[in-house]
Every structure is written in C-alpha cells, then in structure tokens.
Amino acid sequence: MALPIGTILDGKFKIVQILGEGGMGTVYKVAQVGTNPPYYYAVKELLVNPNTSEEERNAAIDRFHKEIELLRDLKHPRIASLKLPFQDRGNYYFAMEFVPGRSLEKILEDANKPLPEEQVIKWMIQVCEALSYIHSRVPPIILRDLKPGNIMITPDNEVQLIDFGIARRFDPNKRTNTENLGTISYASPEHLGSITMPGQRRSADNPGRLVQTDARSDIYSLGATMYHLLTNYEPEPIQTPAPGSILAKNPALRTIQVGGKTVCPVEQVIIKAMQQEPAHRFQNADAMRTALFSCLPNVPFTPTTVQIPSMPNKATISTTPAGSAVSGLICPKCGYQNRIGAKFCKRDGQPLVQGVAVAPPQQRHSRIQARPVRQPIQPRPVARQPIRARPVSSNNAARPATSMGDPMQPYRDGLQQLASKNYAGAVSHFKQALSLGAPPYDTYYNLGRSYRQYGQAVRSINQKAFTDNMRYAAEQFEQALKYKADGIDAHFQLGLCYRDLGLLEKASAAFQKARSLAPQDPAIYYQLGSIALEQGMKRNAETWFQDGLQINPNHVLLLSALGRLQLEEKQIPAAIKTLQQATRLDPSLWDAWYALGRAHMHNREWKYALGALERSRQANPRISETYSALATAYLKLNKKHEARKMVEEALAHDPQNTEARRLQKQL
C-alpha cells in the first residue's frame, strides 16, 4: 500500500504524488524539505512484505541493491541519475533525479493510435544514444526491460530512460541468465535462456541452445518497442514480424522505391532489430542509430545497405545517409562536423556519441581539465611500448602491385584494425600496403591516424608513449602531403599533432594552410582560436571564434570557447548570452554550464548560478571546481549545510582546491 501524501521520508523528502505502484513497492514524487522553490526527486520504494518467503524477499532486496549499484556509476544526459539510497520504516528506498513528462506507454495510451513516424524515429535515436553508453561500460550493462513504460519523454521532447530494476552486468563466462525477467512482449528469445532453431518449439526434449542476454537483447526490445509505437499493437512475444505486416497495420508509414521495389525503411529496421538470432540483428546501438537516421524523410539514401536475413526478396535499406538537413555530430575534440550517423570523427577518430561531449584538449588558459569520454584502450602487447615507425622510403610507396599480393587487402585490413582500436595491427597492415604499392596519400594518412589515435589512447597513462606516437604521426602526415599538397585532412591532422606536441607556431601554420583550402570549415577556426588562446593572444582568439561563428552560428564548441573567453575578459552580459546559446544547443557541455554559473556569480545572481553549476555537475561529476563554485553560491544564499557538503565533495576530488580550502576555514 502506498504511503499517504505528505509523508516525510528520511527526514528530508515530502511525498507530493504517487507516480506508480506495483506488487513490490511504489514510486513517489517527493519535494526536498526546506527548498524554495521546491526541488523534486523521484523516490523508489521496495516494500518488503512480511508474508513473502525468505527466499523471495532476499531475491527482491538483492535486485534492489543491484539496481542502486548500477545507477551509482551511470552519468548520462538520457539516464535519470541516482541521488541517495536510504532506509525508512523498515523499507528500502532510493532517491533519483525526477524526470518530468510522460512515458511513451502513457503517450500511446492517450493517443490510442500509432504515433507519428518521424517523431518516433527521433525518440528512438535518442534511446540508442543511452544504450550505446550503458553497453560501452566495462563490463557492459544490459537493460533487459526496455519498453514504452520505461522511456520518459520530457516537456522538451527529450528521452530519459528510467527503471534499471532488472538490468545486469554482462558476464562472458555465463552460458545463460540466472534470472529470466522482463516484459514478455518486448523480451528477446535470450530472455528465456535459450534459442531454438526456426520452426521448432521449445520443450523439455528440445530446450534449444543456451544463451544469455547481451547488448543485442536490448536491440530486440527496442525494435519491439518501435513496433508497438508505430502500430498501436503489442508485438507478438518472441516473434519476428513478417515483411509487410507492420506496413499493413499502419499504411501511413513512409515508403520509397529501391531497385524497382516498394520498401518501408522503418519496417525493415524493426524487422532486422527483432531477428530471432542475435547475430542477424544490429550488432550495437550505434549501428541501429545509423539505420534510424536513414529513415528520416529529409535524409537521402546512399548505396550502403543492410541485409535482412529473414526477408526472401533481399530488400535493403540505407545506413549511411549523405548530406541532409539534419546536422551531423560535432567532434568534441577537434570541432569537425561529421556526416549523419558517423561513429568516429573523420578528422581525428574521436568516438562520436550524441549528448556526450568533452571539453576541448589543451585548454591551457583554463585550470579545468576534462577527462576522456571513454577509457584508454585495454593494453595489448603494444601497451607497454609506443608503436615504433620504421621509415618507409618514398620510392617504394608508389610501386605497383606485384605477385606478392593485392595492396588493397592489407589497406582494408588496416582500416578494420584501426576501427577496432588495434593500433599496432593497423600500423603493420598499412606499412605492408605501402610496400605493395597502395595509394600513398591515403595509406600514409591512415598510418598517421593509427599512430595519433594510439598516442591519444595512452596519454593519461604513458606520457612518453604519447609524445613518441604524436611525433611518428606527424611524420606520416608530412609524408602524405608530399603526394597530395592540398590534402585538407592531412593538414588538419598535422595541426592537431603539432598542437599536442606543444609546437604552436607550426600548428597554427598547418591550420592556416587548411583554412586556405577549406575557408568555410568552422572546425579550423575553432582550432586557430584555441591555439591563439594558448599563445596568450586573446584578441586574435576572439576574432577566430567570431569568424567561425559567421560560418556556423550554432557550432557549440565555438560558442562555448567564445563564452569562456568573454567571461575571462569580464564581458559578462556577452558571456551569459553566448554560453546560454551553447548550453541550449548541447546541454551536455559541462564546461559551458560551469562558465555560465561563474558568469552569474560575477553578477551576484546566486540562484541562476546554482542552476547552471548543478547542470555542470550532472554533466561531469568529477570536476572539483564545480563543487567549490556550488559551495560559494550556497554560502552566499546562507545555506551553510549545503555549502559544507559541496566543500567536502570538492576536496574529495582535489585536496588542493584553494577555493574549497578557503571556504572550509570560513565554515
């Protein structure tokens, strides 16, 4: 039974609304006592019923604690974050970020008809972003209960995943799941613990092949969720939809002509996602996100295709959309705007995850250092030594293929190794390709990328390996430019290497050359402005940032860098305006939120400052300066208890934080 409205939990949370009830407990909307205006949280309760068996009770408590453990480490704009676990009245609770809005289950129920196709696609692209994040954890986290009821849509039309109650960490040593939980309409065959051959029924005599849920199980559930949202029919449990069946239930779905045949792109994505065999589905959420992008009506198709094994007519859909009205992802490292659906930046290989950004590298004018979005590569044998380049003579580089083999095969193998982050293998293959006469510019260019990406991967753990590989990378880009002097990407990469090596004059010259070849590329202006800042030439930096914004007024990294510079120069109204635009375009820019909070502090607008700094903390909870700034703002509002907590957090992250140590003495 739910607790009455007005009940105080843990001495600090007042129940204001019941959000949902189930057999194992209730979810409440609560207001934090003493905050004005009220600050809301969602509190999840585990009601331990004394009438249940001890085994059931222990299992429920164990699942509840596992959910807390999983949520504790998750920090992503599309996942409600954990705030505080506690016990009260003999029951277990945890408070988490309150997500306003409605679940997709409620939206579908209220509409009582299929939801608009384009809107559903855009929502599901956002779900893929969250899945990419949890699946890339070490070990991967599998949601296992993805369904319309667990996907919230905020008033800003943004997706938030809720309820990690049966999520689990993937264990490669297990053959099957310990528990087979989840909502059966959206559950993959793996949820049952085994997969049977097509046409066979699962029975005691035919239990099927033992399997456990993995990231591809969530892909199946996402396809089933799309099926429900676009047809207003619950999917048949453990069934792959037949070709044409989804379109028959919703004839309004968009169709196109491919090879003389009528194809429904979104239907094909759903069918592929809901394949019985995991190997036949999209193999990761990024691949499904790419395919979903290609289903948008304003994204043209390209020859790249995805085959759907279960479809006898071999109908295909595009997965690599070409230029479109939809903006591609801006690389958080170099500022380059990539094509729609790109997984890695074309320029520097940085992983691209929409909604996850990091501060640009080498911001020497700022004492805040961003940590990388992803962990460094797991060391193979090369991890103890930098990759050593042997000079490849130019007279061999353009040699035609010989009987030794096809030069393009090791080149293709090198690209595959590079994408898999096996950088030593990539170097070996590209060097072999050069010796066999592969195209020299492309091969030297990708050889340079291999060295550079390896250097970036080991930067935080081996400074010498980082420096050595940056130097080797620069040599390869220089070699590539001997064969193609107007190679814009090689000039750009060369500039990045020089900048990482601290050779700022040479870096500026490389980017100036790139600018002469591509004067409309805002990423070049971002790099030139950042280098000018590192050289102490703030006026020049501001000019470069402004010039870049003339080309693309919504380039978030340019806006963020310009706003931080304006703050540093005490141009407070301009800084606030610029930083507000940056954070509106990309709410995950923690450094822009931090600078915005500092700008409001300069104006003594303490409540606005708290709001911005809290967003910065949510986007990146590891920055000591954010907590000390929050402490200052709380102290100015005479909230000493909150200020003390923030000081403790600041010093836990950096015991040398001077602002926090000063506040500690005051408090």
- List the binding residues for ATP: 44
Do the strands 209-210 and 305-307 form a parallel or antiparallel pair, or are they unpaired? unpaired
How many Å apart are CA 521 and CA 519, to the nearest integer? 6
How many Å apart are CA 633 and CA 596, to the nearest integer? 13
User: What DSSP character marks residue 47?
Assistant: -
Which single residue is written with the structure tokens 């375009």?
585
How many Å apart are CA 265 and CA 313, to the nearest integer? 14
Nearest Cα residue to 330 out of 360, 303, 300: 360
Residue type for 401, please?
A: A
Query: Residue 390: is it exposed, middle or buried by C-beta count within 10 angstroms (0-12/13-18/19+)?
Result: exposed
CA 442 remoteness from chain centre: 29
How many Å apart are CA 217 and CA 234, to the nearest integer? 18
Which stretch of DSSP H or E encloses residue 490? helix 488-500
Tokens read off for 336: 């380059």
How many Å apart are CA 472 and CA 651, to the nearest integer? 39
Q: CB of 632 within 8 A of CB of 659?
A: yes
Q: DSSP per residue over 524-562, as a string?
A: HHHHHHHHHHHTT-HHHHHHHHHHHHHH-TT-HHHHHHH
How many Å apart are CA 348 and CA 213, to the nearest integer? 34
How many Å apart are CA 83 and CA 421, to the nearest integer? 35
- Per the DSSP assignment, residues forming a β-bridge with 31 are 14, 40
3-class state of residue 198 by DSSP? coil
Residue type for 303, please?
A: P
Phi, psi torsion values for 542, nearest 5 degrees: -60, -40
Query: Residue 399: is it exposed, middle or buried by C-beta count within 10 angstroms (0-12/13-18/19+)?
Result: middle
Tokens read off for 129: 């972003």
Q: What angle do CA 289, 292, 293 make, to 5 degrees?
A: 90
Phi, psi torsion values for 192, nearest 5 degrees: -85, -5
Residue type for 414, please?
A: G
Q: Where are the alpha helices (DSSP H) in 274-381?
A: 285-293
Q: CB of 45 within 8 A of CB of 92?
A: yes
Contacting residues for 606 by C-beta, under 8 A, at least 6 apart: 600, 633, 636, 637
What radius of gyration, in Å, describes the C-alpha atoms of the chain?
Answer: 27
Tokens read off for 294: 């290609």
The sign one gets for the Cα dihedral 322, 326, 330, 335 is positive
Q: CB of 263 within 8 A of CB of 315?
A: yes
Q: Where are the beta strands (DSSP E) in 282-358?
A: 305-307, 316-318
Peptide bond into 332 cis (omega under 30): no
Tokens read off for 277: 């065999």
Nearest Cα residue to 448 out of 395, 484, 400: 484
